[in-house]
Every structure is written in structure tokens, then in C-alpha cells.
Structure 1
Amino acid sequence: MATVPDGGLGRFLELCEADPAVHLVTLTTEEEGVALACGNWLGGELTVVAMQSGGTVRPGSRQAVPSTSEGS
């Protein structure tokens, strides 16, 4: 499981950290979580990325965002 530390996820992350079956990786950005999950998937593993919605699309990020006009 990968996450960017956040107060809203505090209790959930505490429970994950206490579970010996869960390997918790702390990230600095949500984009790192997407990259980690993709790499794990390519290697045959599943990953959970826990994040709050506020950081999913930030100005200047290169994440996929639908185009608002045809042909651009």
C-alpha cells in the first residue's frame, strides 16, 4: 500500500501500519503512487494507493486530463 501522509487518512493508515500483512510505503506526491502501482502491476503485484481527492490533479502535473476541445 502506498500513501501520501494526510490527517484525513490517519486512522486508516494506523490500522494498515499495524497489520503485518500490509507493506506501507510513504510517498511525497500522488503521482509517485500511480507510478508505484503501475510498476507493481507490471511485476504481477497489486497495490493500493490511498490518497485524498485534493491532490489528484494539481496545476502543472502531467496526469491524464480529458481535453475540453476536439483536435487539441
Structure 2
Amino acid sequence: MPKVKTNRSAAKRFTKTGSGKFKRSKSGSNHFTGKKESNRIRNLRKSTLVSDADTPKIRKILPY
């Protein structure tokens, strides 16, 4: 059985935590930020976890 290749685009977007969950950055902070509240922009800088429904898909494309 050959080795499974890591999806490189996903590897740049997600990082695995110590407990095996996946961390991701929030969307919506690149442009059109002038109309958004500063409080909202500040919260978009924080990272969050991938939802439980999407975790199996991420685990499949990031096997290592």
C-alpha cells in the first residue's frame, strides 16, 4: 500500500492541536473591513476549531 499524500493547501490552512483537533483561522478579515466594527475585526484575528462535522474530512486529507 503506498503512502497517502498530504494535501498541501490544507496543510497551510489547518494545524493539529495536541488533543487531535484541528485549528483554523476565521474568514472575512482580508478586505471590505472598513464597514465592519473594530470589535468584530479583532475577533476575526483569533483562531477557532474546525467543526465536528468537518473534522473527518480534514483528517483524511491531513493524515500525518
Task: Tell me which of the two structures has the higher relative contact order, counting C-alpha pairs closer than 8 angstroms and 6 or more residues apart.
Answer: 2
Whether the TM-score (by the shorter chain) exceeds 0.5 is no
More helix as a share of residues: 1
More strand as a share of residues: 2
The alignment's TM-score, normalised by the length of structure 2, stands at: 0.24
